[in-house]
Structure formats: structure tokens, C-alpha cells
């Protein structure tokens, strides 16, 4: 890993929270992600199962976490399973974790090698009445490929058909949505790296620069600050490209007079930042660009004012949408008739803002959490209204990351320049 070692207390606390949710007589088993093939003999860069990482901090392939609070032997109440270091494999692919190293990362004191787990796991399962198995229950999941965790579910249920089975994912969805202060510290480091990168870009952007050159500056800045890399594919969308929400071609020239929308974030210590800023390529907003930008900024600040414990994301989105109708009317995008004739199923503002305002953020960029239940202290959300105007070939989005507190929220990106005046001043320098 490129980042500095994290405090293992993060993962110790996470496991304690998880154990409290298990039924008596239960064992919970988590397996790592597959090493996914790309083409030929190549593999995609390995990405750990988010739930397993949340419990252990282990990023290595072929790992498992087993939690059995009621095991008669204390040493087997938390077990980390690793692939045994192999001299030949290490010559090709690099060093694998030793037991003492894994203990320091995870705080789990019992490490078992993968090639010896079968007989031990059989004994442990025979002592349990209930088995919790994990699955990917992220609401945004779109792939139907059967991953290792689903294959493992089939294997275990076939081998032990008379046990009671429960979904670990249901618990994880609740727990991972509420970030501890330890987790937010790591997330803040990812945000600080992202802030430094944005400040660097304000000095770099000018007419004639290519979108991919900006993307390269982002990646260089991330790695030079010990980030794992980009939390997701950076969106560097100049001019009319900004109206494409997930534009990642990043292959066009940035032209004088255009805006450029940049949506990027660093991953540090397994946690993801998610920033969007829209700036003028030449360093100066036109009158119309400033008008649209400030309308978007108003919606951004209005949304933050609503984002507090007790409101559900769907209700919050509805209220921000109503405010968007007003702002879009003020800047000439909507008429009174447009707003009057709209329906709840097809609100007027959707013509110019056709995405959600917020999503959960954490280990995954689109992290686990509910949209329909009241939000709670400890949750972390993006706040990202946008305005996309086809007739003017313009797109503006402003996005910060917000931590929900007991009485409101804390903007974790409050030190990142936001206003027209701040951006123009820094680009002028």
C-alpha cells in the first residue's frame, strides 16, 4: 500500500459494532473479491471486497474474515485467513503479508493460512446454529456476474444444509452508513489530498490544454501524496461535454471562453473523496456563466442547510427540486407555465438537473445506505446539484462531502475554494 498504516482501532471498532448485531450461536464468514481477468494472461488491478476491508483493513487477495463471538476458545472468535506466502509467486507478483504484519493492520490476533482452513472451518460451523454470509447488496449494483461471495454462499449452503442462514449484508448496510470518527479522519485525508490537487489544477488550466493533460495532473498529484490512486475515473469535461454526467473520454481541447467541469477524488486508506468543481478555462467567468454558477451554488448551500438528522434523502431531494424550480425561473430556464404544468413524476427542474443531489460516501464512492429512512448522525453524503443547459452547451456542477452531526452537518470540504471570486482570484495568480 502507498498510504501510511492506519490505526487498527478503526477495524477493531467496526468488528465490535458488527458482533453486537449477530444472533447468539452465530458465525459470520466474509471472503475476498476475485482476481478478475482482463485479456490474455492479464488481470485487472485487485480491489478488495468492501465489507471485508471494513472489518479488517486487509487489501490482499484470497483472504477471509471469520467472526464467531460464541466460540468456546477465545482465540477463534476472530480469525483472519490469508494465502500462505509462496516464494515463486512472490518473485512474480511481490511480497505477501506475514502473520505479524496482518495482525498489526487488522488488530485480529489469530491468523490461519488458507490451505489449512477447511478442517478448522468445519469444526467451527458444527459449533454454530446460524451462519451469516455476505453478498453485494449495493442498490446501484448492475453486474450480473457471479462473484466469489455468491459462489461461496452456494458452496456453504450445499455443505451445511441444516443451519440457519442470514444476510450479513443487511447488517453491513446499516453499520457502514454510520461512519466512526476514526473513519472520518481517513476520509478527511483523502479530501485533503483532493483539495491540494484542485489548487494545483487552478494554476495549470488554460486555453489549449487537453482534458487528458488535466487528468494526468490529477493522477500525478494523487500518487505524490501517497493516495492509492483515483477513487473513480476522473471526469474532465470541457464545454458541452459537461452535460454528459459520466463523461470519461477526456480527449478534447479546453477552449477559451468555455467552462470545464471536473469531478474527481482521491482514494486514501480505502476511503474515497468525491469533489466536483466547474471553472472557466481562461480564468474568468462570463456574466452568464457566473449567473448559472451562482444559481448552482445557491442550490448547493440550500441543500446543505436541509441535510441534517431526521430527513430522508427522497424528501430532501424533493425539497431541493422545488428550490431548483425557483432558481431556474430566475435565470430564465423555466417559465411559470413550465412549473405549473409539471407533475410529481416529471418535475420541471428535471430538464436541467437530471440526477440525484446526494449519495452516501465512504469505502465505496456510492456507499451503502438508505434513501427512504431518516438520515442519522455519522452518515457522510455528497452534495452535488448541477445545471445542464443544452441550448447554451453548458454544464455546471458543484460537489462537496458532508458529515452528518447531531444537530446538522460538517462540510469536510469547507477549505476547498467554492465561490466565483475565490476561483477567479486563484486562477489569476
Rounded to two decimals, what is the model's pTM? 0.95
Same domain, 66 and 190: no
Q: What is the CATH number of the domain that holds 16?
A: 3.40.350.10
Same domain, 328 and 213: yes
Return left, alpha or beta for 242; rule: phi > 0 is left, psi -120 to 50 is alpha, else beta: alpha
Same domain, 160 and 277: no
- Domain count of the chain? 2
Task: Judge whether 3 lies within some domain.
Answer: no
pLDDT (tens place) for every residue of the chain, 429 residues total: 899 999 999 999 999 999 999 999 999 999 999 999 899 989 889 999 999 999 999 999 999 999 999 999 999 999 999 999 988 888 888 999 999 999 999 999 999 999 999 999 999 999 999 999 999 888 877 777 889 999 999 999 999 999 999 999 999 999 999 999 999 999 999 999 999 999 999 999 999 999 999 999 999 999 999 999 999 999 999 999 999 999 999 999 999 999 999 999 999 999 999 999 999 999 999 999 999 999 999 999 999 999 999 999 999 999 999 999 999 999 999 999 999 999 999 999 999 999 999 999 999 999 999 888 999 999 999 999 999 999 999 999 999 999 999 999 999 999 999 999 999 999 998
Q: How confident is the model at residue 143, as a pLDDT?
A: 74
Last residue of a domain, one of 162, 177, 192: 177
Same domain, 422 and 286: yes
Last residue of a domain, one of 127, 152, 177: 177
| CA–CA gap between residue 24 and residue 55 (Å, rounded) | 20
Same domain, 191 and 167: no
| CA–CA gap between residue 304 and residue 401 (Å, rounded) | 10
Same domain, 277 and 395: yes
| CA–CA gap between residue 232 and residue 265 (Å, rounded) | 7
Same domain, 151 and 211: no
Q: What is the CATH number of the domain that holds 337?
A: 3.90.230.10
Q: How confident is the model at residue 87, as a pLDDT?
A: 86
Task: Judge whether 347 lies within some domain.
Answer: yes
| CA–CA gap between residue 387 and residue 233 (Å, rounded) | 21
Distance of CA 17 to the CA centre of its chain: 21
Last residue of a domain, one of 177, 196, 218: 177
Same domain, 173 and 185: no
HSE, side-chain direction, 13 A CA sphere, residue 25: 8
Task: Judge whether 2 lies within some domain.
Answer: no
Same domain, 172 and 55: yes
Task: Judge whether 4 lies within some domain.
Answer: no
Q: How confident is the model at residue 371, as a pLDDT?
A: 85
Same domain, 187 and 156: no
Task: Judge whether 275 lies within some domain.
Answer: yes
State the residue range of the domain holding 382: 181-428
User: Could you give the C-alpha distances from 374 to 115, 299, 311, in angstroms and in order?
Assistant: 45, 21, 5
Same domain, 36 and 88: yes
Task: Judge whether 317 lies within some domain.
Answer: yes
Task: Judge whether 298 lies within some domain.
Answer: yes
DSSP state of 40: T
Task: Judge whether 1 lies within some domain.
Answer: no
Nearest alpha-carbon partner for 45 in 192, 236, 233, 325? 233
Same domain, 62 and 74: yes
Amino acid at each position: 500500500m502507498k498510504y501510511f498504516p492506519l490505526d487498527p482501532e478503526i477495524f477493531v471498532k467496526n468488528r465490535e459494532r458488527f458482533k453486537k448485531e449477530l444472533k447468539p450461536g452465530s458465525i459470520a464468514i466474509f471472503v475476498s473479491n476475485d482476481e478478475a481477468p482482463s485479456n490474455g494472461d492479464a488481470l485487472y488491478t485487485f480491489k478488495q471486497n468492501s465489507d471485508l476491508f471494513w472489518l479488517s483493513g486487509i487489501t490482499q487477495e484470497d483472504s477471509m474474515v471469520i467472526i464467531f463471538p460464541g466460540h468456546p476458545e477465545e482465540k477463534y472468535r476472530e480469525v483472519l485467513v490469508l494465502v500462505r506466502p509462496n516464494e515463486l509467486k512472490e518473485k512474480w507478483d511481490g511480497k505477501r503479508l506475514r502473520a505479524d504484519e496482518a495482525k498489526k493492520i487488522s488488530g485480529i490476533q489469530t491468523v490461519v493460512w488458507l490451505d489449512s482452513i477447511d478442517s478448522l472451518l468445519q469444526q467451527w460451523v458444527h459449533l454454530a446454529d446460524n451462519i451469516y454470509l455476505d453478498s453485494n447488496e449495493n442498490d446501484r449494483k448492475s453486474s450480473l456476474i457471479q462473484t466469489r461471495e455468491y459462489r461461496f454462499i452456494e458452496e456453504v449452503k450445499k455443505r451445511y444444509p441444516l443451519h440457519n442462514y442470514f444476510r450479513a449484508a443487511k447488517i453491513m448496510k446499516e453499520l457502514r452508513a454510520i461512519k466512526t470518527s476514526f473513519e472520518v479522519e481517513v476520509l478527511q485525508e483523502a479530501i485533503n489530498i483532493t483539495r491540494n490537487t484542485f489548487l494545483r489544477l487552478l494554476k495549470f488550466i488554460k486555453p489549449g490544454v487537453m482534458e487528458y493533460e488535466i487528468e494526468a495532473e490529477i493522477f500525478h498529484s494523487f500518487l505524490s501524496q501517497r493516495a492509492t490512486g483515483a477513487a473513480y475515473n476522473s471526469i474532465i469535461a470541457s464545454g458541452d461535454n459537461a452535460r454528459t454526467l459520466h463523461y470519461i473520454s477526456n480527449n478534447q481541447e479546453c477552449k477559451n471562453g468555455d467552462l470545464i467541469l471536473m469531478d474527481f477524488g482521491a482514494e486514501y486508506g480505502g476511503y474515497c473523496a468525491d469533489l466536483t468543481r466547474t471553472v472557466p478555462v481562461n480564468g474568468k467567468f462570463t456574466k452568464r456563466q457566473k449567473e448559472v454558477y451562482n444559481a448552482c451554488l445557491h442550490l448547493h448551500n440550500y441543500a446543505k442547510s436541509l441535510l441534517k438528522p431526521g430527513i430522508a434523502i427522497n424528501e430532501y431531494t424533493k425539497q431541493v427540486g422545488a428550490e431548483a424550480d425557483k432558481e431556474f425561473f430566475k435565470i430564465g430556464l423555466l417559465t411559470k407555465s413550465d412549473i405549473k404544468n409539471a407533475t410529481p413524476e416529471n418535475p420541471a427542474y428535471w430538464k436541467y438537473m437530471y440526477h440525484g443531489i446526494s449519495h452516501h460516501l465512504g469505502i465505496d464512492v456510492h456507499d451503502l445506505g438508505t434513501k427512504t429512512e431518516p438520515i442519522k448522525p455519522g452518515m457522510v453524503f455528497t452534495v452535488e446539484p448541477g445545471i445542464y443547459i443544452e441550448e447554451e452547451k453548458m454544464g455546471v456542477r458543484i460537489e462537496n462531502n458532508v458529515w452528518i452531526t447531531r444537530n446538522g452537518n460538517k462540510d469536510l470540504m469547507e477549505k476547498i475554494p467554492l465561490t466565483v471570486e475565490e476561483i477567479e482570484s486563484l486562477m489569476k495568480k
